[in-house]
């Protein structure tokens, strides 16, 4: 007899004769189990998020080693818990769940921006890298001489005010000396974040990010292409006109004959906004109009009062005033005694009442508009604050940015007259100038808003390797913005890291979507308020119907797919750049006529 067979037979005989033993069987999960799990997860994540928010606020407003470590440690705890809970959530995915519970499980997986790997050591490494990258950016300076160092705001002032190409080029290159040391750590960050995304079932972090838009990632990429195809003709008309005017100012030799614009001549560190060169490209025969910066300066409007004006816009729509703690805890000016991250941001530290903004405010038109934008975030945060933790957020991240910009679009001459800033609203003859200023800010931004994540998605997917980071960046800048580097760049440079949102790991497609949605929101609110004139002249300041419509949409948070929220306010379930075209239609006709004349 086969010895193995005999042994097996003996085992079976003995086993059948032995008394039965209890076997631990894990029962299949139920819907009730899933609901209990989600409730526990929300409570745990909310507590950790509050701790991280306090630590990160302290770090960003007081950059030292100790606060960097506190921020990194609390971020690590939050990331680790998110990764663990996302893994646990898989146990309930095959259940037939109610829609709200199914959505919460999905959002639980997508709740972080940089998904952490399962390995605790790698989780800590990822968190440390993120904190270090933000700190390097926040501390960044350019020292042209041993006894003179310039901060980013200092260099932005030069780009705004100077018309000396050498001075412009110096600060443009100078700021980009800050980012090369970030490159190696950023490459490691990509590796770790991708590993975390794959642990959750996604191809890479870019695939993970695109999954947050209630549609297939590939379909979302196609949607971006569709929207850009609607917008590109507008941008091309503006670009052609601006380039011709810059040639008039600096000469064809300085600009070149390749159809591109040198980045340092556009008045902004990243060429993402061109309003600072308005005096160079202003319509020749248009009235000068008003200068909001000079108006604010003449009124001796301080930083806090600038914020008060923004708050009063929202209270005019029927929203309650901001809590007293907002005024006590926000950062409005850059402290003299320490380093801070000056990049403007809105915070809900202890949702929904501990609202704050962090901003190094200057008394100028740009910051006046930015304040309205940032407060839009705060009022949105408060509106969805009564939702459960996983449903606190905007319908998609573009909605959050769009809400603030929608309010900013209402900063029209009609609004400024209501504030007493101007005595008389300019007539239609001033519309070309007003639209040109808006186009230099909004239209000029569109391709940049698209390309940042186009670059990151290529990096996350592995299509672009670290040695090709910089070349891939400039390839996209030339493709979308039709802008070129004014100086030779090397593979060792890391120009993407000179933009805050890259080292801070803030997704950027939201800003492109916002610049589409804001005009769609704006047109809808203007129509609801009964306005019937040219779209660019509308201000819904003081209109309670507009406020009610905003409140209904904002209160949904992220509890429903974004098309539901869009429909709640606009009646449409599809993003549409047609409102952008309607807003700028008079300027488009003028630009095309000017370009045709200059081409002769």
Q: What is the Cα–Cα distance from 568 to 572, expressed in whole angstroms?
A: 8
Is residue 59 classed as helix, strand or coil in its secondary structure? helix
Q: Which residues contact 344 (CB under 8 A, 6 or more apart)?
A: 357, 358, 359, 360, 370, 373, 374
Quick check: 116 pLDDT over 90? no
Q: Which two tokens stand for residue 223?
A: 């949607």
Q: Where are the alpha helices (DSSP H) in 410-494?
A: 413-419, 431-461, 469-476
Quick check: 366 pLDDT over 60? yes
Q: What is the pLDDT at residue 13?
A: 36
**pLDDT digits 0-9 by tens, 29-52:** 999 999 999 999 999 999 999 999
Q: Which two tokens stand for residue 578?
A: 């047609």
Q: What is the pLDDT at residue 417?
A: 92
Contact 553, 524 (CB under 8 A): no
Q: Does the active-site annotation cover 374?
A: yes
Rg, Å, the chain Cα set: 27
Q: What is the pLDDT at residue 427?
A: 81
CA distance readout (Å), 51 to 48, 419, 456? 5, 40, 29
Q: What is the pLDDT at residue 352?
A: 77
Q: Does the active-site annotation cover 344?
A: yes
Quick check: 11 pLDDT over 70? no
CA triplet 154, 158, 164: central angle to 5 degrees? 155
Percent of the chain with pLDDT over 90: 81
Is residue 231 classed as helix, strand or coil in its secondary structure? helix
Confidence grade of residue 104 (pLDDT, cut at 50, 70, 90):
very high
Residues 501, 508, 522, 583: which is the catalytic one? 501
- 293: phi then psi, degrees, rounded to nearest 5: -60, -45
What is the pLDDT of the chain when averaged over all its residues? Answer: 92
**pLDDT digits 0-9 by tens, 393-440:** 999 999 998 998 898 888 888 899 999 999 988 888 788 988 999 999
Q: What is the Cα–Cα distance from 231 to 146, expressed in whole angstroms?
A: 46
Residue of 287, 588, 594, 590 whose CA lies nearest to 430? 287
Q: Does the active-site annotation cover 343?
A: yes
Quick check: 445 pLDDT over 80? yes
Q: What is the pLDDT at residue 288?
A: 64
Residues 156, 275, 401, 518: which is the catalytic one? 401
Residues 264, 377, 515, 536: which is the catalytic one? 377
Q: Does the active-site annotation cover 202?
A: no
CA distance readout (Å), 57 to 238, 329, 345, 377? 39, 10, 10, 16
Query: What's 476-542 look like in SS3?
Result: HHHHHHCEECCCCCCCCCCHHHHCCCCCCCCCCHHHHHHHHHHHHHHHHHHHHCCCCCCHHHCCCCC
Q: Which residues contact 448 (CB under 8 A, 6 or more apart)?
A: 270, 271, 272, 480, 481
Residues 511, 522, 531, 583: which is the catalytic one? 511
Q: What is the Cα–Cα distance from 479 to 517, expressed in whole angstroms?
A: 24
Q: Does the active-site annotation cover 253?
A: no
User: What integer is the mean pLDDT of 99-114?
Assistant: 91
Q: Does the active-site annotation cover 373?
A: yes
Percent of the chain with pLDDT over 70: 95
Q: What is the pLDDT at residue 24?
A: 59
Q: What is the pLDDT at residue 1?
A: 39
**pLDDT digits 0-9 by tens, 547-574:** 999 999 999 999 999 999 999 999 999 9
Residue of 271, 273, 293, 267 whose CA lies nearest to 156? 267
Contact 439, 587 (CB under 8 A): yes
Quick check: 7 pLDDT over 90? no
Q: What is the Cα–Cα distance from 141 to 407, expressed in whole angstroms?
A: 33
Contact 95, 29 (CB under 8 A): yes
Peptide bond into 352 cis (omega under 30): yes
**pLDDT digits 0-9 by tens, 463-506:** 999 999 999 999 999 999 999 999 999 999 999 999 999 999 99
- pTM reported for the whole predicted model: 0.85
Q: Does the active-site annotation cover 463?
A: no
Residues 47, 167, 286, 344: which is the catalytic one? 344
Residues 373, 400, 515, 536: which is the catalytic one? 373
Q: What is the pLDDT at residue 12?
A: 33
Q: What is the pLDDT at residue 425?
A: 86
Quick check: 247 pLDDT over 90? yes
Q: What is the pLDDT at residue 404?
A: 84
User: What integer is the mean pLDDT of 98-125?
Assistant: 91
Contact 209, 203 (CB under 8 A): no
User: What integer is the mean pLDDT of 238-242?
Assistant: 98
Q: Does the active-site annotation cover 515?
A: no
357: enclosing H helix or E strand: strand 355-358
Contacts 24+ apart (CB under 8 A), 55-60: 57/347, 57/349, 57/356, 57/358, 59/131, 59/134, 59/135, 60/134, 60/138, 60/340, 60/341, 60/345, 60/358
């Amino acid at each position: 007899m086969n010895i193995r067979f005999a042994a097996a037979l003996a085992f079976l005989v003995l086993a059948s004769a032995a008394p039965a033993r209890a076997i631990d069987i894990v029962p299949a999960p139920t819907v009730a189990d899933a609901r209990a799990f989600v409730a526990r997860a929300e409570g745990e994540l909310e507590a950790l998020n509050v701790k991280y928010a306090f630590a990160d606020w302290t770090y960003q407003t007081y950059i030292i080693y100790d606060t960097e470590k506190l921020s990194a440690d609390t971020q690590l705890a939050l990331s680790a818990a998110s990764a663990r809970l996302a893994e646990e959530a898989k146990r309930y995915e095959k259940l037939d769940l109610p829609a709200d519970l199914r959505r919460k499980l999905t959002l639980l997986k997508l709740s972080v921006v940089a998904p952490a790997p399962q390995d605790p050591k790698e989780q800590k490494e990822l968190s440390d890298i993120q904190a270090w990258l933000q700190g390097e950016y926040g501390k960044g300076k350019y020292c042209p001489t041993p006894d003179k160092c310039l901060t980013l705001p200092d260099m932005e002032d030069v780009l705004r005010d100077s018309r000396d190409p050498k001075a412009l080029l110096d600060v443009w290159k100078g700021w980009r000396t800050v980012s090369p040391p970030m490159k190696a750590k950023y490459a490691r960050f990509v590796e770790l974040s991708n590993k975390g995304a794959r642990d959750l079932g996604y191809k890479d972090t870019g695939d993970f990010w695109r999954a947050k838009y209630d549609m297939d990632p590939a379909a979302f990429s196609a949607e971006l292409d569709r929207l850009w195809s609607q917008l590109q003709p507008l941008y091309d008309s503006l670009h052609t006109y601006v380039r011709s005017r810059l040639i008039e100012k600096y000469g064809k030799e300085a600009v070149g004959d390749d159809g591109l614009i040198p980045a340092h001549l556009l008045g902004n560190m990243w060429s993402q906004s061109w309003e600072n060169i308005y005096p160079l490209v202003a319509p020749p025969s248009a009235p000068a109009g008003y200068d909001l910066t000079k108006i604010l300066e003449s009124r001796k409007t301080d930083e806090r009062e600038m914020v008060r004006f923004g708050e009063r816009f929202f209270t005019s729509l029927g929203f309650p005033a901001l809590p007293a703690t907002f005024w006590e805890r926000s950062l409005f000016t850059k402290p003299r005694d320490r380093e801070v991250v000056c990049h403007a941001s809105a915070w809900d530290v202890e949702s929904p009442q501990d609202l704050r903004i962090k901003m190094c405010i200057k008394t100028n038109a740009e910051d006046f508009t930015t304040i309205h934008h940032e407060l839009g975030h705060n009022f949105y945060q408060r509106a969805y604050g009564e939702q459960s933790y996983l449903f606190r957020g905007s319908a998609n991240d573009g909605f959050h940015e769009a809400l603030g910009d929608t309010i900013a679009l209402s900063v029209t001459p009609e609004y400024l007259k209501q504030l007493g800033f101007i005595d008389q609203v300019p007539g239609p003859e001033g519309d070309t100038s007003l639209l040109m200023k808006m186009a230099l800010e909004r239209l000029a931004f569109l391709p940049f808003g698209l390309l940042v994540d186009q670059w990151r998605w290529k990096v996350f997917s592995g299509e672009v390797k670290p040695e090709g980071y910089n070349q891939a960046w400039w390839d996209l800048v030339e493709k979308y913005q039709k802008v070129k580097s004014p100086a030779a760049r090397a593979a060792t440079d890391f120009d993407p890291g000179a933009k805050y949102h890259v080292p801070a790991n803030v997704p950027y497609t939201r800003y492109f979507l916002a610049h589409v949605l804001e005009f769609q929101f704006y047109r809808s609110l203007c129509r609801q308020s009964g306005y019937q004139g040219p779209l660019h002249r509308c201000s819904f300041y003081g209109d309670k119907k507009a406020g009610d419509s905003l409140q209904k949409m904002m209160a949904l948070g992220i509890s429903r797919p974004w098309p539901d929220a869009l429909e709640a306010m606009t009646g449409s379930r599809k993003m549409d750049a047609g409102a952008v075209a309607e807003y700028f239609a008079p300027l488009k006709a003028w630009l095309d006529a000017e370009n045709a004349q200059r081409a002769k």
